[in-house]
Each structure stands twice: as structure tokens, then as C-alpha cells.
Amino acid sequence: MRGLTVFHLLLSSFLLCCFVQLQQPAYAVRKSHVVYLGSHSHGPKPSSADMDSATSSHYDLLASVLGSHERAKEAIYYSYNRHINGFAALLDEDEAAQIRKNPKVVSVFLGQSHKLHTTRSWGFLGQERDGRVRADSAWVKGRFGQNVIIGSLDTGVWPESKSFRDDGYGPVPRKWRGGSKCELYSLSGPRNTTLCNRKLIGAKTFHSAYEIKHGRLTSGISARDEQGHGTHTLSTAGGNFVRNVSVQNNGNGTAKGGSPRARLAVYKVCWGRHSSGDCTDEDLLSAFDQAIDDGVDVLSVSLGRSAVPNVNDMLTNGISIGSFHAISRGIIVVASAGNDGPEPETVTNVAPWIFTIASGSIDREFSNNITLGNGQIIKGTSLAINSVSQRLIPVVLAGNVRLPNATFQDAQLCRPGTLDPRKARGRILLCQRGRSLRPVDKGAEAKRVGALKMILQNDKQLNTRTADAQVLDSSNIPLDGGSHEGETGQYTYFGKKKPLAAMNNAKTFIPIRPAPRVSAFSSRGPNVILPSILKPDVTAPGQDIIAAYSPAASPTNLDSDDRHFNFNALSGTSMACPHAAGIVGLLKTRHPNWSPAMIKSAIMTTASILDNTNRLIEDEQDGRVATPFHYGTGYVKPNIAIDPGLVYDLKTSDYLNLLCFSAYEDRIIEAINYNRPYKCPRSYRLEDFNYPSITLPFLGVKPVNVTRIVTNVGAPGTYTVNVKPPRGFKVVVVPTTLTFQRTNQKKSYMVILQATRLAQTSKPSFGELTWTDGKHRVRSPIVIPQHAKMAV
């Protein structure tokens, strides 16, 4: 293996722009106001005479305040004269106050600017308000991730996307050691014309193992993205601001990444034109090695093994191994937790040196209505655009229109080739979601058999709602209409004779409450490899995320789909991972000398477990309160993470000691320590591994002591601890206060836990401890997966 050069990241200081407070003029200022008068009385189809009369009444009303019709006509620039009754006019404060007193007036209010919202997740994470960047945001404090280098191991990139233009960028940072190699070639110009720039500073391919296993790549070797996944994740992490973006007329607004001024490096490790592309350990390790050598600051890895994690995965997994080497060189690796939820013990990428990200929703929803023949309306998640007509159409259950050689179960799931076109053509097809197929595969089967539309009904296997760019209009409805287990079903109408339904086009709704929720598909803990390390670490937006996409791929990655999008809405922990990577980029820019563990700690200890109704975050699967096995320490809050107060730090030696505890031989430890001699400690307590969360599996009846060390990264001050013990446990923290005289000072504390007679052996128990100085809240979950029975 080629030797890796140690480097120290040095970033220049940049002056923040000053905002000049403009002085108000002495004279009255007219501003745009809406004068709302309710509804018109001229019927559902107003004539031109009706509209003229309404406008005239508006002039009359305003003239009574302004003194003349001429002045009223000058002031009014919109007359709402069809169905909404009211007008928009330029008024000063006194004029608005005067007209507000009129008994005909419902309300008068300043017209606010409603900005269009896409990658709404960054607004939900507090970086924007009403479409404007917040002055107190992590974006501003982290200088939009300026000059941080984010590397992506994925399917490549579509370099022509506006998300990767380099307008306004200076020279490539000197810390970039990747040279000028760029395996991105012009589609129309000479083969030797490459498409990297000052934003997209490198693009390299790793394909040898793939070709060995699958044969030579016939389409040419290029880092160009043919699947869309890599373009989507890269732009989510560090894409530019791109205006006027939407997906099938939904989510209109501005797309942007978490570190929009970052420099980006692409490492293409996944091959194949469709979502089943292969990313081999061998190619991954080569890419990790190259990325470390190139000098990236952050690596975003939205990949993971699909099988249940193996106890040997820490050192038999390309991502785990590559990540260890990256972190030992000061590079933080962010990886997705997996999409095998809601089953427990499915979380992947669980090595303690990896930052593992679960998926949650945001406060935006794309949805439509399904109107049934009995008048009932069901709300579904959708991107439908061709459902203008509200004509009722017969609904057929997929299991009832199967081919003779197909099983009911396969047909119910709309597996390819199981349905009879003679029975489904011209109808709305109702498919069960299950876990065996992607929703877009079911949509393809529905279109193949001539269905006009599809209803995708969730079931107990997976109750998640995603807006997919289906090949025909569809709507994804929740399990039993969203009711909780045990309640009466709401879909009994579908079982009646000759059910009918109509579907309308999708619309965008903001804000949705409650939000966030943990995505039902997001893989969950406990961590089966290292039960003492809580995984996932945190949760980030991963549901219906709009970002750049490759027009070489169809939005569904189906051969039968000939559509091409520049932006697409995707869901998965693959989308959550680059959100966290973008936030890491902001912290790396703000705090260039922080270790990967410090950055990870800052994000973990400031994450929230409350939704936007100030209640505990719920699990999308069943609506019940989620736990740290679902969301880790909580949902990311970048504006707080940028100034966490205290952090938990870890060095490479801490990870080596953990491997010693995991029974790896000294020779193995020395080998991964770059063949430097390393002596495993004679005594080591995994409980004292300085992780930002505290997890104690198989806790017995005797008290257990846990030690943690915190580093002050803020001003001098005193922190006081507050403890919420896990149910059935007594928790004591010593000392209860920590006083810091300087920045970077370290202090240790001990947590003593003991089970009481109220402890339940069969259920996990959760608590938390929080250090606060009045400004900062440094929170760590306490997790007891299971424990021994109390002696009676």
C-alpha cells in the first residue's frame, strides 16, 4: 500500500460582510398591503360585469380613505374580483390602520415575500427564514463551507449540472493534492476535453474489481454519473445555489447543498446503469486511499452492505477499513445507516470511527387526494401531474387481477409479470408496498398492464410514504389510513364490489406538523457488532429530498422510462448522509483545527429529540415515540452544533485500544497502525471509551462506573449536570459541576449506574445527562439495551 502523507489543515481567516442599517426616511412610506374582504357574492362563474362591479367597489372603499377615486386607482395594483374578494394596494401605516376600521374589511396585512422552497431541508434545519439566509445560521458562521474539500464515493457526477458551476470561485486551494486528473469528458467535444473546474476539482474512477466480477465496461471509463445517485448526494452535500428548481412542478424553489461554497472531489466506485449497481470493497479501498492522499477534508459515503452486519465487519469491510485510515489522517467519514428499517439490529456502517446517519422527514410534503366513490377522501404522498380530471375510475386490487401462474402474494405486491392486462387495463391498480420491490418497479408493472393510475398502500412490513417520480400517476397511502394499530381500518371501501376512485395532482405543503419523524425505512439499532456503541449516531433529512440528478438516467432508473430530469426527489439514508457531510463541512471551516471526533461530538450532543410541535420525535412506522435506537442522539441542529460548548474527543490510539479490547492480536493492531509498534493496555474498560453517548449492554445488578472526558471549546465558565435516569435505574454523576478556566481545557466526570427493583429485564431503557452553562446544552443519551434480573 502506498504511504499516506500527514497534513495539517490551514485555512485563512475571512472577514464577514457587514450589514448596514438603513435609516428610515422622515416621510410616510407606502408599502404593499393586502385588504381582504372575504368572498364575492356573484356566484361560481362571474361575468365581466360582475368583475367590473367588484373592482369598482374596491375603488370606492379605498377612495373613502384616500379622498378620491384617482388616488385609489393609483394605489390599487391588484383587484381580486373573481372569487376572492379584496385588493392589493400601496398604503402607508396610517392609511392601512384607517381602512382596517371599516366593518366590511376582514383583515389588512403587509404582503410578505413567499420564497419558493427546494432542498427545503436546509430551511428546516434553520439556515434560512422566508427564503433568506439567517445571519445567525451555521451557513454564515461556517462561511458556507468555503474551500472545505468534500469527497464523495458514489456513482460519479453529472458535471454540466448548475450545482457544480464555478462562477465566482477562486483558485483551487493549495491543500488539494489531487492534481489535475479529471476523468470527466465532454459529450460533444474532443475526448481529451475534461470538465472539472474550480468547484468540481477532481473526478477519478475505480473499476478494476467491478470489471473482474462483471466483465469489461463497454460504455467507456468515465466518472460521469449514469445512475443519478452520485449527482444527487454530491449536490446535497456541497452544491451551489440553483434557482427555479422543481420535480414535476412540485417543490419549486432554490436547490443548494449544506456547504454550498465547498470544493468537490468525485470518486466513482459504483458501476451499472441502474439502481442495482455494484460497489466492491476492492474498488472502495482504492478510492479511500486515493481520497486520503488527495487531501479531502470530508468523505461522504452513501453506501453500505445489505446483509446483516457481521461481528468481524470492523476490519473485513471496505468502508470500515477505509474510514479508519481516513480518520487517522484527520478526515471525517460520514456514512449512511442503511434502509432496512423498521427491523431492529439492521444499522450498518457501525464502526465507532464512522459518523453514521439515519433518515428523518422534513416539514414539507408532496401530496394529493384520492376521492372514493362513497365520498371519502384519502390523503397520499405523490408527484402526480396528469390527474386533472376527477372522473371516477374503477379500482382493482392487484391480487385479484393476477395471471393464472402467479401467486396471490406476488400479484398483491405487483411483481413484474404477475398481472393480467385484460383485468387491469383502464383501471386504478392498488398494490401493497411490502419490502421486496422498489415502488417504481410496481409502477412499471402497473403501466405495463395498462392501468391508468396506481395506489401504493403501505403495510406492516413498511409504513413509509415517499414521493416517487413514477411512470404513471400514483399515490402512496399509509398503513390503514394512518391509524395506529388496533384502530378500525379506513380502507374497507376497497374491498366492496366495484369500488371507484379519482385522484388529483400533487401539491406542495409547508409546514407539515409534526416534523421530523424517523423514516420507517431507516435502519435501526442496537449495534450488533459493538453493542456498547450506540448506532446510528444522529438523524438528518432523508425523505423526499430534491437535488441535482443525472439526465443520463431516468428518474426511476427503469429501462422502460424515457424521461430525463436535471433534478429529482429521492428518499433514503443515502440522502441523509450528505446532509450531515455538508454540516461537517461548515464545522470544519469554522473550526479547522478540530479533530474528526470533536466535530462529530458537536453535532451529536446538540441534536434534538423534539419535533416542531415540541413533542418527542415519533417513528413513522407506527406513530410511537422513537428512541435512540431509531435516531441516535437526535435530529441534527447545525446552528447549535457550530458552537457546542463542550466536546468529547478521541484519538487514533483510543480506536486502537478498542480494537485491542475486541480481541484483535497485537500484530493486527500494529499493522493498521502503519506498522508502528503498539502495546495494548493491560487493562481496558470499553465503558470508558470517550463516545458522546453512553450505552451499557448486559448491565448486571452491581453498580457500574463510566468515565467521560469533555473538552471546553467555548469561553471559560461553569457547567452543571442534569440527569434523567433510564427507567428502573439510579444514576449519580460525580462531580455535578465542571469549571473551566480556559478554552481547550479538559475535565473528567464519572457516571455511576445501578438497577433498581423497577428495572425491566426484557425491555431497553433510555435516559440522558446534560451539561449546561446557561447558554450551551451538551446532551448525551444513556442507553441500557438489556440487563440482568434483580436478585429478590
Q: 154, 225, 313, 611: which one is catalytic?
A: 154
Q: Which CA distances in Å does 172 have to 178, 288, 299, 586? A: 11, 21, 18, 18
Kind plus residue range of the DSSP H or E element containing 628: helix 628-631
Task: Report the alpha-carbon angle 104-108-111, nearest 5.
Answer: 145
Distance between CA 728 and CA 755 in Å, rounded? 6
Specify whether 325 is catalytic. no
> What is the rounded CA–CA span in Å between residue 660 and residue 678?
10
The string of DSSP letters for 85-152 reads: EEEEEEE-HHHHHHHHTSTT-SEEEEPP----BSSTHHHHTTSEETTEE-TTSHHHHTGGGTT-EEEE
Closest CA to 523 of 630, 634, 633: 630
167 tagged catalytic: no
Query: 509 - beta bridge partners?
Result: 365
Look up residue 475 and give its DSSP letter. Answer: E
**Residue 703 CB neighbours (<10 A):** 12
Q: Three-class SS string for 582-602? A: HHHHHHHHHCCCCCHHHHHHH
Given a contact cutoff of 8 angstroms between Cβ atoms, the answer to whether 520 and 341 are in contact is: yes
In terms of Cβ atoms closer than 10 Å to its own Cβ (0-12, 13-18, 19+), residue 110 is exposed
Question: Active site residue: 574, 608, 693, 780, which one?
Answer: 574
Distance CA 567, CA 243 (A): 12
Backbone phi, psi, residue 511, to 5°: -90, 150
Strand segments (E) across 675-764: 694-695, 704-712, 717-724, 729-734, 737-740, 746-755
Find out whether 518 and 618 touch, Cβ atoms under 8 Å: yes
Catalytic residue among 229, 325, 630, 776: 229
* DSSP annotation of 185: B
Is 154 part of the annotated catalytic residue set? yes
Nearest to 446 by CA among 465, 423, 467, 466: 423
Could you tell me where the beta strands, DSSP code E, fall in 386-515?
393-397, 428-432, 453-457, 474-477, 500-503, 507-509
Active-site amino acid positions: 154, 229, 574
